[in-house]
A and B are shown apart, each in its own frame.
Chain A
Amino acid sequence: METMGIIFSNIYDSMMGKLTNIRTSASIPVGGRYRQIDFILSNMANSGVRHIGIITKYNYQSLMDHLGSCQEWDLQLNTNGVVFLPPYATGHTGIYRGKLEALQTAMPVLEGGEQEYVILADSNVMCALDFRKVVEQHVKSGCDVTVVAKGGLCDGKTVQHFALRTDESGRTVDMAVEYAAPVGDLVGMGMFVISRKLLIAAIKETVPHGKYHLERDLIMEGYNKGALTVNVYPFEGAALFNQSVKAYYDNNMAMLDSETRKSLFRGEVPIYTKVRDEVPTRYGKGAEVANCIVADGCRLSGKLSSSVIFREVKVEEGAEVADSIVMQGCTIEKGASIRYAILDKNVTVSAGTKLLGSPEEPLVIGKGAAV
């Protein structure tokens, strides 16, 4: 496909609390065996995008470790493949304030590319989307930019990062940033298609003038001035936005719903992730498991309900796990119980301990803690 991809890996770090203490938001574990970035990267790779830049800012060691040579995505290529774009990598720019400014880091990649189009994408939305359809519709629309957006989410109360309104024919009629959009509006999924040359020119024009916010300073301002035509691609499948710890909790729980799982994992494209050689999960004689997502390599002998269990988790006899997210390598010892909790990697909940959060404010235990 005549398209390259740029992925932003850190933009929402500050909203994810403890979960981004030691990693980028792109590498936050989700759904038992995935990291957030798996979705956007699989969407691109399975849509034939073979040239992808990942813009990082800090804390990107876990992300690099996760992606490795990108062979799981068939992106371990001689020509192009995946390039990491950390700050100061090119001399162009250092720390940035927003996506538009961050794109300066990607200038050499953008200018060196031969592709007609660029997909710009955040890494915090989970969905299975075929970008070939988006690009096709973008070309057909004749517009300068296409925004992938999801309907049915606006309620007039929740503040949306980027809201768009279309008329009956699907033409864009209004847009707003950080706005409590009314019912009927669409929410931008942080995925854009734009001509590569147009993007390069726009960056050169806007960033030196102190502009840094992609949606506000480039798309909305251009649209309002009549300088930029904007097309909306409405995505029909499930799209889960991880823009806060609460949303992250709710989205993991949403995966317990079979329709959501079907849309995410048997959707328009398959979702790949890093391979780890784990034994299948072993269920002991006393195991009671109901309504859970369970990755490989676990040893479960306790009682588990309505939870997402990552790899290599051990739940001992008599331990109880309910309504929780338990990341890789955690141990819940005998008689311990947790409810409404998010345990980051390698947490040990010692025998008899009880942890209780609430659905509104799940209790987050940082990586490696012993409680």
Chain B
Amino acid sequence: MYFLKKRCVAMLLAGGQGSRLKVLTENTAKPAVPFGGKYRIIDFPLSNCVNSHIDTVGVLTQYQPLELNEYIGNGQPWDLNSSHGGVTVLPPYARSKKSDWYKGTANAIYQNIPFIARYQPDDVLILSGDHIYEMDYARMLRFHKQMDADCTIAVRPVPMEEASRFGIMNTKEDGSIFEFEEKPKKPKSNKASMGIYIFKWDILRRFLEEDEEDPKSDNDFGKNIIPNLLNAGHKLYAYEFNGYWKDVGTINSLWEANMDLLGDEPEFNIYGTGGKKIYARNYAMPSAFIAKGSEICDSFVAEGCEVYGAVKHSVISSGCIIGKGAEVKDSVIMPGVVIEPGATVDHAIIAEGCVIKAGAKVGADQQAESLEALKISVIGKDVTVPEGAVIEPGEII
């Protein structure tokens, strides 16, 4: 088969378990977790790729891939169903000599060197499937070319007092990186890595192969590949990104990222900028029905919903029913949830297919000093909360 050369191939790391999302990722990979009423987390990096004219994407899956594979399908919702390039799901596979699960982020790419090599790209873009953001990778790629960098790392400024929680890039005035510190006690800069890298393909390939030879390596980009490149004197640059970006790796951050869509001037503009949209797989659902006597305020409600009760400052996903006299407040309701009459849901995440029976009470109104202190209740997929039951704030079932 003849493969046309591609300028840039994107590799999307989507194999993580996301154990801090607890019941939400018990049976599904983190990138497949629903977000914002009709999206899933992976829609953001995939849409960014397409909006940045990157048409060849490898998605590396490992943990609970069934739902994710089905969701990606042939890539048609993102216009990635082309016969040359498009989206390819890359699970770990058995080989004649040595078979392995993906040991680390770098090893996952290493195992797929043949996939990348057949497109002979100049550069490879490494992405992860657990961030909510809108970013033009093409601009980063231009910067990478302009600097003639061997590796460009996207960074975003974080408050200096929080910098010790991140991987920090210490840069010179021209943006070149002279040092990388993982969670430094005394940070010298506030430029935190976003886990988005562009590498020159030939250099990445060499370092992946060398890294694989090193038995002591964790086979991780942050821990091994980046420091090795720096030590070998390669040109690494930091590309500063100032837009919205959120790691939705924890219950509270996933909840907050959903809340960030609300308000008159939302933190994150889900509508996209400059005509660029976030694409998602769409299902056959009729339009929403909003009944007389309902009350909806400062919320998103997706198609296929029937709302008879009250919805305040919440995100209601496709195909939910909010019964008469029920109240949903400051919550994230994932697709296909039924909230029966008189039930209340407050500061909670309700996963797909749950039924909150009549009069049940999930979570409670609360004020907290910080996001971490909030007690978000979480109901896992397809759970039925019995009539009149009380699920305490912060309880996860």
Q: Identify the A interface with B (CB < 8 A).
A: 31-33, 71-72, 256, 258, 261, 264-265, 270-273, 275-277, 279-285, 287, 289-296, 305, 308-309
Contact = CB atoms under 8 A, between A and B. Distances in A.
27 contacts: A258-B289, A258-B306, A261-B289, A264-B286, A270-B284, A277-B277, A277-B279, A279-B36, A279-B37, A280-B37, A280-B38, A280-B301, A280-B303, A281-B288, A283-B296, A283-B297, A283-B299, A283-B300, A285-B297, A285-B298, A287-B296, A291-B291, A292-B290, A294-B290, A295-B287, A296-B302, A309-B287
Interface of B: 36-38, 76-77, 264, 270-271, 277-280, 282, 284, 286-294, 296-303, 306, 311, 315-318
Nearest to A307: B290
Nearest to A306: B292
A299 B279 CA distance: 19
Contacts of A261: 286, 289
Contacts of A265: 286
A279 B300 contact: yes
Contact of B38 (A71, A291, A293, A296): A296
Contacts of A272: 284
Contacts of A287: 296-297
Given A280-B316, A281-B301, A295-B288, 9 more contacts: A261-B286, A264-B286, A272-B284, A276-B282, A277-B277, A279-B36, A280-B301, A283-B296, A290-B290
Contacts of B280: 277
B270 A291 contact: no
Residue of A258, A285, A296 contacting most chain B CB atoms (<10 Å): A296
A71 B281 CA distance: 13
A273 B283 CA distance: 9
B300 A281 contact: yes
A293 B279 contact: no
A31 B287 CA distance: 7
A38 to B, nearest CB: 10
Nearest to A284: B298
Given A271-B284, A296-B38, A282 B289 contact: no
B392 to A, nearest CB: 29
Contacts of A305: 292
B296 A32 contact: no
B289 A279 contact: no
B286 A71 contact: no
Nearest to B270: A279
A290 B293 contact: yes
Contacts, number: 102
A279 B273 CA distance: 13
B250 to A, nearest CB: 24
B79 to A, nearest CB: 11
Contacts of A308: 287
Contacts of B277: 277
A3 to B, nearest CB: 22
Nearest to A296: B303
A345 to B, nearest CB: 16
Nearest to A272: B284
Nearest to B78: A277
Given A275-B77, A295-B303, A284 B264 contact: yes
The 3 closest A-B pairs by CB, nearest first: A32-B287, A280-B37, A280-B302
A283 B292 contact: no
B292 A291 contact: yes
B290 A33 contact: no
A30 to B, nearest CB: 10
Contact of A271 (B286, B289, B303): B286
A33 B286 CA distance: 7
A46 to B, nearest CB: 10
Contacts of A275: 77, 282
A310 B302 CA distance: 13
A41 to B, nearest CB: 12
Contacts of A31: 286-287
A281 B290 CA distance: 12
Contacts of B279: 277
A139 B246 CA distance: 60
Contacts of A284: 264, 297-298
Given A261-B286, A289-B294, A280 B76 contact: no
B270 A32 contact: no
B38 to A, nearest CB: 6
A290 B286 contact: no
Nearest to A304: B290
Given A289-B294, A295-B287, A277 B282 contact: yes
A26 to B, nearest CB: 19
A289 B36 contact: no
Contacts of B264: 284-285
B303 to A, nearest CB: 5
